[in-house]
């Protein structure tokens, strides 16, 4: 399992796809591929924020002048609009919550992964951040010729989540195949080289 995942991480350099933009807002920073219509890297901080607002019927929205995925890419297939920076982590005010619904923060994610082990790890992050702040880096890894939905958006092959514990000054790294999980999130912790935490 681990050797297989490590080999997948070496498939392709994200810079090979070009047309990348870097955007930073109050919630997250993203390196976004307009060619793939997917984020390549999302960075956010998980702190012990109160929950003051509810997402209700909020849905993802497009950003002006940036080519992202859109609602059509997620219709009639197995992929969810998966949050990078989680909505629940940024429910302290409506402005922060809304920013999590930008398509810049939306990952084409297998529905079982998004609603299962990925969600459970997000819940664990909110438990960890009760004791110390976390810096989290999500990286998406694509095949050399990535799978795409008919409407054009590329589907990540692998999702990495790097979590830095600011008091302990340690990293934890989790690597998920973008498919229905066969393992629990805590079984997917791996040792990643320091260069991956950038």
Task: List the domain range (segments joined by +) for residue 191.
Answer: 2-197
Our count of domains for the chain comes to 1
Give the residue ranges of the chain where pLDDT is below 50. 1-17
140-158 tens-digit pLDDT? 999 999 999 999 999 999 9
Say which CATH number the domain at 8 has.
3.40.570.10
pLDDT at 4: 39
Question: What are the tens digits of pLDDT across the range 115-130?
Answer: 999 999 999 999 999 9
φ and ψ of 95, to 5 deg: -65, -45
Residue 198's pLDDT is what?
77
pLDDT for the residue 122: 98
- What is residue 17's predicted lDDT score, i.e. its pLDDT? 45
């Amino acid at each position: 399992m681990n050797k297989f995942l490590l080999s997948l991480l070496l498939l392709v350099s994200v810079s090979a796809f070009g047309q990348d933009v870097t955007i930073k807002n109050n919630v997250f920073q993203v390196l976004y591929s307009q060619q793939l219509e997917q984020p390549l890297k999302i960075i956010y901080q998980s702190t012990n924020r109160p929950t003051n607002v509810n997402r209700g019927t909020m849905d993802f929205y497009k950003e002006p002048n940036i080519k992202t995925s859109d609602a059509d890419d997620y219709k009639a297939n197995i992929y969810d609009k998966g949050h990078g920076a989680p909505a629940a982590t940024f429910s302290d005010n409506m402005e922060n919550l809304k920013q999590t619904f930008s398509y810049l923060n939306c990952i084409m994610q297998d529905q079982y992964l998004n609603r299962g082990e990925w969600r459970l790890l997000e819940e664990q992050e909110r438990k960890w951040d009760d004791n110390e702040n976390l810096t989290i880096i999500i990286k998406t890894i694509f095949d050399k010729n990535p799978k795409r939905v008919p409407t054009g958006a590329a589907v990540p092959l692998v999702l990495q989540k790097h979590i830095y514990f600011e008091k302990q000054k340690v990293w934890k790294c989790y690597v998920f195949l973008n498919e229905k999980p066969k393992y629990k999130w805590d079984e997917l912790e791996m040792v990643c080289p320091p260069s991956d935490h950038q």
